[in-house]
Structure 1
Amino acid sequence: MRELPGQLSSNLFGDARRVTLEQRLFNIIALVNAVTNLGGAFALAGLGGGRLLIALQLSTGALFFLFYCLSRSGVGQRRLYWPFVLLILAFLSANTLGNAGSQGGAHYYLVPALVIAVILSDGRRRTLSAVALFGAATLALLLLEARSPELFTAYADTRERFYDVTGNFIFVQVFTAALVAVLSGGLNRERGRSDALLLNVLPEPVARELKVYERVEPREYESATVLFTDFVGFTRIAEGFTPQQLVSELDFCFRRFDEIARRHDLEKIKTIGDAYMAVGGVPEPTGTHARDCVRAALEIARFVAGTRAKRTEAGLPYWDVRVGVHTGELVAGVIGREKFSYDVWGDTVNTASRMESSGAPGRVNVSRATYELVKGEFECVYRGLVEAKGKGEVEMFFVGGERPPGSAPAEREVGRGEYGGRGDEYDRHTGEPRHNALGVEVAGAARASA
């Protein structure tokens, strides 16, 4: 029931999501005038009113309804503007002549009519032309009344004038209030739509700063965590998809990634092809950004693994995913003025990307910096020093899952040196155990280490 008024409004005046505010206002004014004028004509006929006044109401009502039908059938409001404005002005001028001129109440309608004409105008020239036209018409009516008052129909008595002027004045107030309500509602909808689009591009604090100051100051973060994902086997598998199927699959995955990132308070930065990037602790610093990123990374890996299992069961090929996470300093800000974007920069971003590319399918690969922040909450496998492109040898860890409450890091999870672990109990590339329960080296691990 609550949706009924909105649905009725959309059916009568156009869907606010697809029709401009000006077009909807045009439809509203045209239909309201059509109904009131046609209704007034029949009312006057029933009360024995003058034929000339009945003809005026009937003809203008029919014309207003014609404008409404043309607009709803797709004729643009720009093409109908001047005929529509001239009809309103002609009707109000004739009404003023038939209602005692300035002594009556018909001339009150000239004010909201001019407001409507200005709102519907598109460009300064039309606006100035409309103002000049209404000003000239008002001046002409006043001069005509001063020089030829006999052309104006006078009231029979004071009582008739009181009722007519009072009724017109109240109706103009109600009409103006309704007009303002329609405009403010439309503007609020447009503002809400604009804000929603902006928030799809920028984080809320950044969007607020941009709206207030028209620029965003770059901000340094001493500690933030960056997450990268990349699909494994994407190029090969994508060759078997049509373009529509490929976009649909990517949209399916990235929508879910967006949900996961939002649930773990991460800020999505961008997608690049089949890669996805998000960051924790930005733009609002938090003390849990490393934990949040790792939890999101594990959930992303589980989601892709589950989807892959379903597709494989159905006999369809599907990609896997690598996830890399690193924590460190970075700078965040907005670049560009057209199609701008919120982005992060720094060696932390590059290292996070290397964590992803140096990882393994289905695994979450983290750096030493991230490991130190999450080792009390997640089970990790030390991979040792792994060669990373452009970074040399970097310490890396595979994250296995969340640690049971109260448990301490096991020796196998840390590594060599001061931590006392052997560092070679698990395959450094896959994170799988290198030996079975009998101590025999697993064949897959042996091949991987060869």
Structure 2
Amino acid sequence: MIPLGWHQWKLGELLEIKHGFAFKSTHFNDVGIGYKLLTPAHFREEGGFRALEEKQKYYDGLVPNSYLLSKGALLIAMTEQAPGLLGSPVIVPESGVYLHNQRLGLIIIQSPLQVSYQYLFHILNMPDVRKQISTASGGTKVKHTSPQKIKTVIWPFPPLVEQGNIVKTLNQWDAAIDFAERLIDEKRLRRKGLMQQLPTGKRRLPGFEKSKEVRRTRWGNYPADWGYPRIGEIAKHVSTKNQGGASLPVLSCTKHRGLVDSMEYFGKQVFSKDLSTYKVVQRGQFAYATNHIEEGSIGYQNLHDAAVISPMYTVFEAGKKIDDRFLFLLLKTELYRHIFEVNTSASVDRRGSLRWPEFSRLHVPLPTLDEQREIVKVISVADREIELLQAKADVLRQQKKGLMQQLLTGKKRVKV
């Protein structure tokens, strides 16, 4: 049952959808020349615009008429390049900046007395609408849809005035979510700065600096009062195979999160059934992808008392001269990702790996244990601030989702 005064429409009775243009990649660049290309990466899975910052692609070729987007234009993702992306809508934030690219549909309302762009944006974020779009989609590995399929979606619509009041209510929640996201971005930027400065001594915490003198190295300058040992002097290689085939949790290593439970992360088994050749990683040990460390795939095992990991990984543990948490922060910096990349490229192993003998010869800056622990504490506080803000944003999203389910179906009405 829909409320009195509401009308159930097929989207095709209200709108048209225009395909994007296949811009030639020979004119793409990432140095800011030309117009910005709008791509599926700009679409949040829950709907809304995502700025790409340094990942933004530009187009410096000729632009066909009508493919330069205006502020307020509503587009829909017609391919699922990430889980949940199919059918996601976005509203263009600026005029004359973004290009209408392929795989994106520009929505053109044909019945402006029946529906508004803002209201339609919220409708396209409803789970039941996304389900209709997904069910009608094609493709095996990557789902995709078409304007004709999207136009078969059916949904009830209130009168235009009530639509406006619903939009105002939902926009208040969006504003609160956007504010929380901006705070998160600011905190992440601050953390990035701390990670660039504290573990390498570019910035010292109060009470620890003993001298202004620096140690000059190939990879930059470090405080002269810090040590500069090789990794092999403060850590040792560990290689214990799971010879008995014990049923231990299986880990994988990611670029950003470090070590994760494989089944939980991938949602399916991607590892061998026979775990007898896998390496055991005890709590407090490190593991890195021997063939992919240049991507930043290194992690610290603090998930289980013992777990196993693919034999393609190298496992090691730190000694008493260095705090595990400090070493992990240091090895996860962009500086050390670059050092790994350079040393992997220079490796005598033509497969591009960085095995323990080469890895152990790399140097690390080493402050006193007290300073290491203070650095860890500062970064941990920054992480906790981000976690709390992220939890707040997640709660707001859930509350908004519940409100949408009530308002956009007519179960709860707003005053007109």
Which structure ranks higher in relative contact order (CA pairs < 8 Å, sequence separation ≥ 6)?
2
The question of a shared fold, defined as TM-score above 0.5 by the shorter chain, is answered with no
Output the TM-score relative to the length of structure 2. 0.23
Larger Rg: 1
Q: Which is richer in helix? A: 1
